[in-house]
Amino acid sequence: MIRENLEQVRKNIADACARAGRDPSEVILLAVSKTKPLEMIREAVAAGQRAFGENYVQELTEKYEALGNSVDWHMIGHLQRNKVKYIIGKTSLIHSVDSIRLAEQIEKEAEKKDVSVDVLLEVNVAHEDSKWGFTPEETIEAVKTVSAFPHVHVCGLMTSAPITEDPESNRPYFCELRRLFDTIAASAPEHVDMRVLSMGMTGDYQVAVEEGATLVRVGTGIFGARDYGKHD
């Protein structure tokens, strides 16, 4: 069913783009493959999927060892500073930079390997106590601070909106993050390339696309329910 699910998600993205007057090519579909076996990832690759998101460092590194750079790996889960060294050079994008201290650690490890690391700043746009990230008010200054790090390249913003049964309830948060994204892009510091707005998951990605997301993170809608017992 993975091929059929991917086709349906892509159609939903195209339909959302049509409603918003956007080109579907502007939106990257990230298949969230956390806890899913390599066979499922390979099936998705065979169906044309390129980008995959992982939440856990150990799982990402194990899958990287198996598949390498044949796919684009994204780190989307909370990243502990002591685990940064394990994923440097393996990811196309780290979505979950939620503090200056984490950005400093990424800079330190990237300098050791003499590589540039693309990152997104995570914004807790809904001010949820259970979520990580900068507040919207902190984000502009955080972008300025991280932009000074020579090995860390800010490429945009990411948020995890509240889990809800009504996707429309998250539209205000997506609108707010898009406005913040546009504000930063209008006067972005040197070395900052505001091209990725990562927001929207299985339950609300169509609303996110309507509000300007350039990347949506879909797991259950592609692979089915997850086994949350497997993690590092």
Residues 147-177 have pLDDT tens digits of 999 999 999 999 999 988 999 999 999 999 9
> Residues 213-232: what's their mean pLDDT?
79
> Residues 210-220: what's their mean pLDDT?
98
Q: What is the pLDDT of residue 231?
A: 41
Residues 104-119 have pLDDT tens digits of 999 999 999 999 999 9
Record the pTM: 0.94
Whether residue 232 has pLDDT greater than 50: no
Q: Cβ distance 125 to 161 under 8 Å?
A: yes
Query: What distance lies between CA 217 and its chain's CA centroid?
Result: 7
Domain residue extents for the chain: 2-223
b or e along 156-194 (b: 16 or more beta carbons within 10 Å of the residue's beta carbon)? bbbbbbeeeeebeebbebbebbbebbeebeeeeeeebeb
Give the Cα separation of 216 and 182 in Å (integer): 18
Pick the CATH number of 2-223 from 3.20.20.10, 3.40.309.10, 3.90.79.10, 3.40.50.10490: 3.20.20.10
User: Around Cβ 152, how many Cβ atoms within 10 Å?
Assistant: 24
Q: What is the pLDDT of residue 225?
A: 80
Residues 64-102 have pLDDT tens digits of 999 999 999 999 999 999 999 999 999 999 999 999 999
Whether residue 230 has pLDDT greater than 50: no
Percent residues over pLDDT 70 in the chain = 97
> Residues 125-142: what's their mean pLDDT?
93
| Mean pLDDT for the chain overall | 95
**Would you state the structure tokens that stand for residue 82, as one six-digit string?**
């002591």
| Closest by Cα among 136, 51, 132 to 96 | 132
Whether residue 133 has pLDDT greater than 80: yes
Q: What is the pLDDT of residue 226?
A: 62
